Amino acid sequence: MAVKEVKNGYVIDFTIEHQRYRETIPAPHSKTIEKKLGDQEAIYKMAITINEKSYLDKYPNSKILQKAFRCESDFFTIDQYSSIWFQQKQRNWSHTTIRGYSQKYNSYIKPNFGHMRLKDFKASMFDEWASKQTLSGKSINEARNVIHQIFKRAFYDGVIDNNPAERIERYKQDHKEPEPFTKKEIAKILAALETPYQEFFQFAIWTGLRTGELLGLRWQDIDLDNNLAHIRTNITQGKEKEPKTKGSIRKIELLPEARNALNSIINSEHYDNFRVFIDPKTKTTYKYADGLRKYIWKPTLECIGVKYRCPYQCRHTFASTMLSQGRNPMWVASQMGHADWGMIRKTYGRWINEI
């Protein structure tokens, strides 16, 4: 491509798909656009940002830019446009969302569809791939969501005329029912744990906090005078952040068992003046909870003969126990950080009279 500056504009000599174009375009006001007219790849990339689209709107008779827009679906592969989507959106994502999208894309989308051009993809191709997998419905739906988001970005950018991923129906997901611990199991587990692990899991069982919320809890968030705790922080992958949703930033009531766990920590050698629960080995904030699961929780359950369930079942145990005691579902939802009690009714209803 050759660009020749003339009075009040440019003469552009350009070839796309063996077809030659030559036209005069008025000088753009933006120097950035002026620089981008320097090579063929830049012309293609012009089509993916709003500013360059407004340039096309301003000069609708530009044959070159019109051709570039029409050829984008020929030019971009799914893998190439995934990078555009990821770069544009990741700023608004949490660390766990970035990790989840990256894992699903690199494991399922890229090796199977990444090489394909946007225009060649059909919904039936995804369904054919899914039919051969042993993945759960949840994992397939997560992969579907990733490819849907990529095509949605391309559609919104005007690169494609429709989003073919919208034609992929969601797959049925097997609902895993919670397996809360019984009162006898709770007693056995807590009796077998030593301080400060005993206090950590006792507090988890009697507050229903998420694991990241337990790790991030600070003494400044605790109001012992009023038996309250303010949930304002969450630790995920070693990083402290605000909870993911507004509903997760909340005030919870401390039941006697939870308060007793805090009092025990205060009176132990494991008290830290900043974080409520610290790693007793390093005397610092827990960065990850997996060590607790592997080296404390799992061996303890095996030793006392309690069926293994992951630590997250402590949260389920709290909900089921509170409901079985006749607590208002709205109160339970508020304690757990749910926006309403619909999730409580759907997830825990059948255990109300069984715990």
Q: What is the pLDDT of residues 133-148, one digit of tens each?
A: 988 898 999 999 999 9
Q: Is residue 172 part of a domain?
A: no
Q: What is the mean pLDDT of residues 209-237?
A: 94
Q: Is residue 175 part of a domain?
A: no
> Is residue 16 located within the same domain as residue 117?
no
Burial 71-99 (b: 16+ CB within 10 A, else e): bbbebbebbebbebbbeeeeeeebeeeee
DSSP state, residue 286: -
> Is residue 226 located within the same domain as residue 339?
yes
C-alpha pair distances (Å), 125 with each of 110, 164, 245: 14, 10, 35
Query: H or E stretch including 77?
Result: none
- More confident site: 67 or 238: 238
pLDDT band at 97 (very low <50, low <70, confident <90, very high): confident
| 70 closest CA partner among 164, 160, 163, 151 | 160
Tokens of 302: 């095996």
Distance, CA of 323 to CA of 186 (rounded, Å): 17
Of 77-81, 111-115, 196-200, 345-349, the range with the lowest mean pLDDT is 345-349
> Is residue 330 located within the same domain as residue 250?
yes
What's the CATH number where 94 sits? 1.10.150.130
Indicate if the pLDDT at residue 185 is higher than 90: yes
> Is residue 264 located within the same domain as residue 323?
yes
Mean of the per-residue pLDDT values of the chain: 82
pLDDT band at 310 (very low <50, low <70, confident <90, very high): very high
pLDDT digits (tens, 9 = 90+) for 225-277: 999 999 999 998 788 888 767 778 999 999 999 999 999 999 999 999 999 99
**pLDDT score recorded for residue 22:** 67
Distance, CA of 12 to CA of 1 (rounded, Å): 7
> Is residue 333 located within the same domain as residue 208?
yes
Rounded to the nearest angstrom, the gap between the alpha carbon of residue 323 and the centroid of all alpha carbons in its chain is 29
* Residue appearing with tokens 């008025």: 26
Distance, CA of 297 to CA of 311 (rounded, Å): 7
pLDDT band at 151 (very low <50, low <70, confident <90, very high): very high
- pTM comes to 0.63
Provide the number of structural domains found in the chain.
3
> Is residue 246 located within the same domain as residue 264?
yes
Indicate the SS3 state at residue 284: strand
Q: Is residue 178 part of a domain?
A: no
> Is residue 213 located within the same domain as residue 344?
yes
Tokens of 283: 């005397």
Containing domain of residue 126, as a range? 78-167
pLDDT digits (tens, 9 = 90+) for 47-61: 434 334 444 444 445
